[in-house]
Amino acid sequence: MINRYLQARIRSFGYAFKGLRVLLLTQPHAQLHALATVAVLIAGKILHLRRWEWVAILLCIGMVWMAEALNTALEFLADEISLEKRERIGKAKDVAAGGVLITALISVAVAVLVFRNHI
């Protein structure tokens, strides 16, 4: 019983990593987020951010990645329903993209607030 449970959990992690791979390999914006993530992490290490600053930065990184992943999932599902232009599908995609933009802009604002004290 426990063995089957553990196997199912391990399998679910495999699916999650597969999804991250799809995200990184198919989405140009995710690739930009990856570059930005690496740059911010390196800058934070070089500038010796304080614990609360790391918390703010890591929360923002997580939010942007989550928004990008959900946006990509919605786009894949919408494209599976129909590849032709459909107004409501287009609106759903636009709203999801807007969510990514909001998290990215807030993250940039947080980064400015955090890093300006170190530069």
Domain ranges of the chain: 28-115
Residue 69's closest CA among 15, 14, 24, 9? 24
Rounded CA separation 88/81 (Å): 12
The one catalytic residue among 53, 68, 80, 87: 68
User: For residues 95, 99, 102 and 108, what is the CA-based torsion angle, rounded to 10 degrees?
Assistant: -140
Give yes or no for residue 79 having a pLDDT over 90: yes
Which tokens go with 9? 């959990």
More confident residue, 83 or 74: 74
Rounded CA separation 29/46 (Å): 26
pLDDT, one tens digit per residue, over 23-73 is 999 999 999 999 999 999 999 999 999 999 999 999 999 999 999 999 999
Give the pLDDT mean for 83-100: 95
Please report the pLDDT score of residue 19 as a whole number. 97
**Residues near 12 by beta carbon (within 8 Å), at least 6 away in sequence:** none
Q: Where does 28-115 sit in CATH, by number?
A: 1.10.287.3610
Known active-site residue 68: yes
Please report the pLDDT score of residue 4 as a whole number. 86
